[in-house]
Structure 1
Amino acid sequence: MARPPLVGITTYQETAVWRGWDRSASLVPRDFIDPLYAAGAAVCLLPPGTDDEHTLRAADGIDALVLVGGADIDPRMYGGGPEGSSRDRAERALLLKALAADLPVLGICRGMQMINVCLGGTLVPHLPDTLGTDDHQPLEPVFVPKRVTLDAERLPGSAVGGHWDIPCFHHQAIDALGTGVLATGWTEDGVIEAVCVPERRFVVGVQGHPEVAPVRELFGAFVAAAAERRSDGDGVRERVGGVNAA
């Protein structure tokens, strides 16, 4: 029986309260985890390490990477700069290693922005300054449903169809696209809501939150790509093992 692909998920760095404790925590809502389990993946959490070496060591053996939402990316990272918060730096290290190994990557909200920034792109710092409205992120912490038109020939549209209604909550967005990054989804006001990197096996970013009302087709396609990557890796290990044994 084939082993399930292992998906590494980055984590929010937040103060959390549980059973009377109020502590700094690395956490991930179950919303991100459950659709991956449902699609057949195993999951591990990837909090930032003390440095890149420790961060990457924890990710050894993953078959795919999910970059979750969260706080704004440090503007010093725009265009691929080296500065940023500990989380920024950790996620950049994980993403660049995943890209080098052709691991499937799914970036959600901040995660989509991280893909773009790490590949040399930039962000709109505050959408209301550009659009004149806070339609994409109201003052209250509630998701806003947005109709997104997708390129049906490219991911994620090739997996989910030509459009979707997706919950959103973001005050930033992609401005200049990074190297190799292709815009594949837009709202009516022209905000980029989905991207892919066509030259990679599966690198997809979505600005909205497909985990909130789970988009099974997207998570299914992502986990299928992870399983394919695991199968490729197992084949290489078998061939290398056979050579070594000889």
Structure 2
Amino acid sequence: MTEPHRPLTLAVVEVTNARPHARSYDAYTRGMITRTVNDATALGWDAMLLSAEQLGTAALLDATERADAIAIMGGEDIAPEFYGASGGYEGEGRHYRGADAAELALVRRAALSGTPLLGICRGHQIINVAFGGTLLQHVQESGHRITDLPVEYALVEHPVQLDRSSTLALRLGEHVTVQSGHHQVVDRVGRGLRAVGWSPDGHIEAIEHEVLPITGVQWHPEAPLAAEGQLERLLDGLEREALRGVLA
């Protein structure tokens, strides 16, 4: 494979760079995001961390204009008005509407430009909403997160079945063990997307675009106890897709 003339640039996008009201959650989330940036850098990416809430839509689009690939990370619930729903649901917390708008715009531009994009947890849901999909606002079944322990123990390990025809299955295998910590899931799948992964209770755990290099996973491959090599294989998939664009 011919190497590009420069390091590939990966934009890692977080919701916000400060949560003074939720320091434990912020520290835990930041640890996983930092791991993503560090692992990407070790794999040869020129990785940059960007905060959607602080930048806003115009500045985030400007900062990522030349990115070869994008990873949208986890965080708070998306404000329900972005997918045609109402607030007041069980488990609803703080919303970052500026970050929501900026990340949705970023996904839509990636679709137009063909920029490879990976969404993790909230990022997976952002992808679905950007393509007109909806979210199930609160998962009643247990097995997706732990709510009665400190945040560092909130993730749950469970299996995911991947569609054997999916790109994700090619990268990770049809049966994967994942770390999840969420109370919302994809409901109606957005236009051009298809569900390619499911938890044992039938909820959608992964989506892919039918033709574009856009993938979302509901789980956390960057979690401290995630299966070894899972994040690296997803980043390698982004690299392969980005190289196709650079060398085209």
Q: Which range, TM-score by smaller chain?
A: 0.7 to 0.9
CA distance in 2, matches of 1:79, 1:159: 34
> What 5-or-longer segments of structure 1 have no aligned partner?
18-22, 233-246
Task: Write the deviation string for residues 178-229 of structure 1: whole angstroms up to 9, x where unpaired.
Answer: 00110001111001111100211x2110000111234122221112212222
After the TM superposition, list the runs of 4 or more consecutive aligned residues in structure 1 that deviate by more than 6 angstroms: none
- Any gaps of 5 or more consecutive residues in structure 2? 86-94
The structure 2 residue matched to 1:164, chosen from 156, 164, 176, is 176
- What is the rounded CA distance, in whole Å, between the counterparts of 1:188 and 1:74 in structure 2? 27
What secondary structure, in the 3-state scheme, does the structure 2 residue paired with 1:230 have?
helix
Q: What is the root-mean-square deviation in Å for CA atoms of aligned residues?
A: 2.4
Q: Percent identity?
A: 32
Match of 1:138 in 2: 146
Q: Which moved more, 1:68-77 or 1:42-51?
A: 42-51
The match for 2:12 is 9
Which residue identity lines up with residue 56 of structure 1 in the other structure?
A: L
Deviations 1:100-159 (CA, angstroms, capped at 9, x unpaired): 10000000000000000110110010101xx3x3x2011122211110011122121121
Give the whole-Å Cα distance in 1 for the aligned partners of 2:42 and 2:207.
24
Q: How does 1:116-195 map to 2 (within 5 A)?
A: 116-128=128-140, 131=141, 133=142, 135-139=143-147, 140=149, 141=151, 142=153, 143-195=155-207
Secondary structure class of the residue paired with 2:107: helix
Deviations 1:49-93 (A, max 9, x none): 55432221111210111110000000101159xx97010011011
Partner of 2:40: 36
Indicate if the aligned counterparts of 2:160 and 2:175 stay in contact, CA closer than 8 A.
yes
CA distance in 1, matches of 2:76, 2:82: 14
| CA distance in 2: counterparts of 1:181 and 1:118, whole angstroms | 11
Q: Secondary structure at the match of 2:7?
A: coil
TM-score by length of 1: 0.81
2:216 is matched with which residue?
Answer: 205
Structure of greater Rg: 1
Match of 1:230 in 2: 246
- TM-score normalised according to structure 2 size: 0.81
Residue of structure 2 aligned with 1:71, choices 76, 100, 109? 76
Q: More strand per residue: 1 or 2?
A: 1
Give the counterpart letter for 1:73 in structure 2.
I
- What secondary structure, in the 3-state scheme, does the structure 2 residue paired with 1:224 have? helix
Q: Distance in 2 between matches of 1:84 and 1:76?
A: 12
More displaced 10-residue stretch of structure 1: 213-222 or 141-150: 213-222
2:15 partner letter: Y
Matches of 1:193 and 1:101 in 2, distance apart? 26
Give the match's secondary structure for 1:156. Answer: helix
Alpha carbons of 1:101 and 1:190: their partners in 2 closer, same or farther (altered >3 Å)?
Answer: same
Does residue 114 of structure 2 align to residue 111 of structure 1?
A: no
Whether the 8 Å contact between 1:35 and 1:211 is mirrored in structure 2 is no
Q: Distance in 1 between matches of 2:45 and 2:242?
A: 8
- 8 Å CA contact 1:155, 1:195 repeated in 2: no
The AA in structure 1 aligned to 2:99 is R
